[in-house]
Amino acid sequence: MADAKISMYLPPNVNPTQAAIAYGCRALPKLNEELQSDDLLTRQQALMALCDLMHDPEHVYTAISIGCLESLKALLKDTNDLVRIKTTEVLCIMATHNVGREGFLEHNVIQALSFLLSDAQPACRENLYTAFKHLAQLPAELQVVAAELHAEDDRGDALEAVDPLFALRPLAAHVHHLEGALGIVNSGLIPSLVWKLQREEEEIQVLLLDTLAACLTEDATEALASRAVPFLKEKLLSTNCDIRSKAARTLIAVSVPPEGKVQVWQHDVIPILVHLLKDRDEEVQANAAGALMNATVTTEGKYAALDVEATRPLLQLLTSSLSKARLNAIKALTMLAEAPEGRKLLQPHVATFRALEEDFSPAVQRAAQIAIRVIEWKP
């Protein structure tokens, strides 16, 4: 008769690093209990399991309702590196869902995460900055709606054509995503994020710039007081095209308020932006044109751009394959046309703007019409 033997191998499809998940509605409550365990391995395994489950928004909703966010906030202070890394990973995944972002705001998760801004583990910091990025950014579909509202508005003049926030004003009362960026601003984290921009690795700098661009759209006051413009000027010179592009996009946000426009001129950022209009990367070109459209609202900004012959590269961008680049270039040229010298330079190119009235983008069509009115204006 054969002897019974116990296999030395684990059953198939069993992950020894992950906690066994209970059946049905008991799964998340059991994991929440394990998150509070005194046993290190139990906490780690529960976090591994949560990383898988939190990809489902229904599980995120349940986890928040049973108090998992409070357990996770406590684990952010754990002395074990892996626990902190996996905790921030769970929160990062939760932040990809609407219900998760709402939970962050309701349970003050932003402030809890802020204590890890200087964590020794790069993976931990990367997860937290990614969570901030998800929390702060406006969804792409709402950006499209904003562009359509902008294009359809019949009251447009040169200043409205250059204001990137103009079309978003009707949406502000309905967009809860804007609360995420505002939550980061109200937590007083902007000076720290600006400071970290100079000290983090390039991969994390990209995440920081994404977060700052969204937050400064809400309120750039603290960033301007924290020398954000000189720091962003330095990033415009980076060899990394992602950093150049996102630094220019952040400058669009920081130069919306009057003080931001003044600082961009005072710190000699305009010549660098004009140089970036000829960058090999189209996103860099588009965002540089966007920053110029704001900076040239002021008289000083207009003449600083004209002094470095900004009209030539801006006119070249009118044939860009990116509608965003064409739109931003038209708006920047519209601002330059408000100066007599700029208007004189652009009058021979009115036909180019008329061709853009047939562009497939309604926003580009509308901006071209405004530009023609400004260029052809006679005192």
Q: How much is the pLDDT for 180?
A: 87
Instruction: Clarify whether residues 174 and 53 are in a common domain.
Output: no
**Residues 85 and 180 occupy one common structural domain:** no
Same domain, 147 and 127: no
Is the same domain home to 164 and 96?
A: no
pLDDT in the model for residue 373: 95
- Judgement on whether residues 224 and 75 belong to the same structural domain of the protein: no
256-310 residue pLDDT tens: 999 999 999 999 999 999 999 999 999 999 999 999 999 999 999 999 999 999 9
Taking 90 as the threshold, does the pLDDT of residue 74 lie above it? yes
Domain identity same for 126 and 228: no
**Does residue 303 share a domain with residue 174?**
yes
pLDDT greater at residue 9 or residue 365:
365
What domain range includes position 60?
24-109+119-131
Task: Please give the tally of structural domains in the chain.
Answer: 2
Q: Is residue 2 part of a domain?
A: no
pLDDT value of residue 139: 56
| pLDDT, tens only, 345-354 | 999 999 999 9
Q: Please name which of 163, 237, 155, 223 lies closest in space to residue 194, comparing C-alpha atoms.
A: 223
Q: What is the pLDDT of residue 299?
A: 95
Looking at the domain assignment, is residue 276 inside a domain?
yes
- Residue 161 in any domain: the answer is yes
157 and 126, same structural domain? no
Above pLDDT 90, what percent of the chain?
Answer: 79
With bands split at pLDDT 50, 70 and 90, how would you rate the model's confidence at 184? Answer: very high
One domain, residues 82 and 164: no
User: Is the pTM above the cut of 0.75?
Assistant: yes
Tokens of 278: 């000829």
- Is 235 in the same domain as 196? yes
| Domain presence at residue 3 | no
How many Cα atoms within 13 Å fall on the side-chain side of residue 302? 15
pLDDT confidence of 137, banded at 50, 70, 90?
Answer: confident
Is 97 part of a structural domain of the chain? Answer: yes
Same domain, 125 and 164: no
Do the domain assignments include residue 49? yes
For 101-112, the pLDDT digits (tens) are 999 999 999 999
Are 86 and 44 in contact by the 8 Å Cβ rule? The answer is yes
Q: Is residue 10 part of a domain?
A: no
206 and 236 inside one domain: yes
What's the CATH number where 54 sits? Answer: 1.25.10.10
pLDDT of the residue at 202: 93
366 in Cβ contact with 154 (< 8 Å): no
Note the Cα 2 to chain centre separation in Å: 66
Residue 242 lies in a domain: yes
pLDDT value at position 344? 94
Residues 312-355 have pLDDT tens digits of 999 999 999 999 999 999 999 999 999 999 999 999 999 999 99
CB 360 within 8 A of CB 328: no
